[in-house]
Copies of this chain bind each other. A is one copy, B any other.
Amino acid sequence: MAGSGFGTLFRVTTWGESHGYGIGAVVDGCPAGLPMDEEYIQQYLDRRKPGGRAFSTPRREEDKVRILSGCFEGRTTGTPISLMIENKDQHSADYGELANAWRPGHADFGFDSKYGFRDYRGGGRSSGRETAARVAAGAIAARMLSEKGIHVQAWVSAIGPYICDASRFDPDEIMRNPFAMPDADAAREAEAYLTRLREEQDSTGSEVTCIVKGLPAGIGEPVFDKLDARLAQAVFSIGAVKAVEIGDGKAVVSSRGSENNDPFRVQDGRVVCTSNHAGGILGGISTGADILLRASFKPTPSIFREQKTVTKDLKETDLSIRGRHDPVIGPRAAVVVEMMTALTVADLYLMAETGRLDQI
């Protein structure tokens, strides 16, 4: 189980490299009876698609998903759902020299150290392309959650120094601008910044924020499978993530208990928190408040500038990476964060179904 599977009850296993036949995922444990078709999944994949947006790689991946099993007459049957996306438009030639020199900021050196050799075309298994399989699988989790009134949404909250302003938050903007930012002004500034970076053959970091609405209290297991612990694993399993925060996140270090504790009150006969510093999770278990999560993405490591590196025969060299690369990761990764969140919540939601004798 070399780590290509995630989840206990709602379990996804992904496969595939950027330059082989294709990529895919098998979802085992999706409950029977969920309405499902390829169109539903495709809309999530389209949000990840490059080429549809300015400032993302011109490579035209069609990313058409096919459901190969597990659905019958428009509904899931409870058996494994196999999803496949064929690879198109591959230019392996572009990657030829990467067989010899390890790209800085990439997994190449680690793979060679681990396995002795690797599929060097386009990053192979460590390519961002692998995340398309997760998005396809995550769409099924998102559908299951939405049937239960639980909704997950992610967006880009910062690109380099340009940070979305909460006061200008417009949910429709997320799908409208090419950066998945909910603040049109920030998106405009980010655009100018990215143009400059392109010219400078450089790239920038970014931040993705994700929210889960409608999750009832009581989801998450108390110790190692805390909701926040599993979310952190899920989101950190996306390449390029270097930090995950829940609720106030890193700001808690300089906070005080009297500020940070969210008071409980009663509203319409339900227990609510009147603030949400905790991001909806206490002791690893949901409180019924919105789940708030942020992920910090490092700058795209593939930059056109010359970089110092080493070849397989341990000679120092300078490497210029060619090919097609986005100067920022967040805009295409936002839906990946959203889908990894959906997969995690779906799994722990099912797990919570078996926690009480009076409910089984």
> A52 at interface (Cβ–Cβ under 8 A)?
no
Q: Which of B161, B221, B357 contacts A31 (CB 8 A)?
A: B357
The proximity string for A residues 23-63 relative to B, scoring 1 for CB distances below 8 Å and 0 otherwise, is 11010110111100000000000000000000000000000
Q: Which of A113-121, A165-173, A182-190, A331-339 contacts B (4 or more CB under 8 A)?
A: A113-121
- Chain B residues with CB below 8 A from A229, complex form: 232-234, 236-237
Contact between chains at A33 and B284 (CB < 8 Å) = no
- Chain B residues with CB below 8 A from A243, complex form: 243-246, 249-250, 252
Report Cα–Cα, A359/B269, bound state, in Å: 26
> A341 at interface (Cβ–Cβ under 8 A)?
no
For A, the interface residue count at a CB cutoff of 8 angstroms equals: 163
- Chain B residues with CB below 8 A from A110, complex form: 217-218, 220, 282-287
Residue of A114, A125, A315, A327 most packed against chain B (CB within 10 A): A114
Contact between chains at B9 and A354 (CB < 8 Å) = yes
Q: Which of B70, B105, B225 contacts A261 (CB 8 A)?
A: B105
> A138 at interface (Cβ–Cβ under 8 A)?
no
> A1 at interface (Cβ–Cβ under 8 A)?
yes
- Chain B residues with CB below 8 A from A351, complex form: 2-3, 9
Report Cα–Cα, A249/B246, bound state, in Å: 14
Contact between chains at A228 and B236 (CB < 8 Å) = yes
